[in-house]
Amino acid sequence: MTARRPQYGPGTSVVAVNRRNQMDPGHKLTVVRSITDEDIVLVLGHRAPGASFKTMHPPLSEQQEPDCPMRRLVKPTEGAKHGDRVRYVQFADSMFNAPCQPYQRTYAEMYRFRAIDPGTLSGRQIVECRERDLEQYCRLLIETEMFDPALVSLRGATVHGHSLRLSEDGMQFDALQRCVLGKDGIVRYVKDQIGLPLNRPVDVGKPLGQAWLKGHATIFHSLVGTALRDDREYVEYLQRIHTLRTRYGFVPKEA
C-alpha cells in the first residue's frame, strides 16, 4: 500500500498543473532570475541594507522557555529564534496571465513556508512574518517562475492594477510607477514597495513574454489564456463544491 499523495488541486489544464506545481513543496520551482540580498532589502524598504535586524523580543536562547511539548515539537524559524520583528511583503498580480494570483499565492506559501500570516484579497496578497524569514521567502517569490517583472509587482500600498488593462508597454498599471521598463527591455524598481524613491534602481530582469506567461499562468482567462470551461475536471469539481455547499446550507436529512 502506497503512502497517500496530496493532490493539491483538480484539473487537467496547464493552469491546473501550474497551480499544483506551485503548491507542491516537493516540486522545485524553476529559477528564472537572480536578485541580490541587498536588492531584496531595498525593494522591501523595511531596513537599510547592512543594518541589523530590529527585534521585538530577546533571542529565544536567552529566554526562560517553559517546558512545553509543543515547543519541543515545533522548531522556531530563524527569525523567531532571533526575536525579529514582524514585517510584510505584498504582491499585486495582473489578471492578464500573471504567473501567480492572490489566492494561489496564499496556497503556495502555506504549503512551502513556515510561520507566515497571509492576507488574501481579490487583487493583492500580503504575507507577514519575521523579517529574516521574509527576506528568504521573498527570494523564492521573486527569483522563480512565480514572478514576472511586468505583471507581478511588490506593492505595499496603492496596489490598484490587478484587473486593469495593461499599459501600452505591457506593464501592469501602477499609479506610483514603482518599476519602469527601460529601453533595454529590463524592468527596474525605482521605488520601494511603499513608493519611496530608491537611491539606485533594482534590476529584476526582462518580462517573460506572452507565450511564456500563457504556459505558466495560474489564472483562467478565456480571452488571453486558458478558459475555465476547457478544463472539464475543474468545472466538475467546482460544480460539486457549489452543489454541496448549497444543499447542505439547507441541512437536508439523509434518507
Partner 1 sequence: MRLLGPDTTKRLLDRIVPVPGIRRMLLNGQNIPLVVPYGPARGAKNETNLRKSIEIAGNIVDLHVQVGTVTLEIEDRSVIDQIRAICDDFFVDFPCYVQEGKFMKTQPSLVDYAKYGPGADPSIIGLVDPKRKEQPSIIHPHGDRVCGGCEL
Of 166 and 238, the one with the shorter C-beta distance to partner 1 is: 166
C-alpha cell at 202: 533594482
Report how far residue 103's alpha carbon sits from residue 96's, in angstroms, rounded to the nearest whole number.
15
Q: Could you tell me the smallest distance in angstroms from the CB atom of residue 9 to partner 1?
A: 31
Q: Could you tell me the smallest distance in angstroms from the CB atom of residue 91 to partner 1?
A: 15
DSSP letter at 117? E
Of 196 and 227, the one with the shorter C-beta distance to partner 1 is: 196
Report how far residue 94's alpha carbon sits from residue 167's, in angstroms, rounded to the nearest whole number.
11
Of 132 and 191, the one with the shorter C-beta distance to partner 1 is: 191
Of 120 and 210, the one with the shorter C-beta distance to partner 1 is: 210
Q: Could you tell me the smallest distance in angstroms from the CB atom of residue 249 to partner 1?
A: 37
Residues of the shown chain interacting with partner 1 in the complex, contacts defined by CB under 8 A: 156-158, 160, 164-170, 173, 175-177, 190-191, 194-197
Which CA distances in Å does 92 have to 63, 65, 152, 222, 249? Answer: 39, 39, 6, 21, 34
Between the CA atoms of 148, 150, 151 and 153, what dihedral angle is there, to the nearest 10 degrees? Answer: 80
Q: Could you tell me the smallest distance in angstroms from the CB atom of residue 203 to partner 1?
A: 18
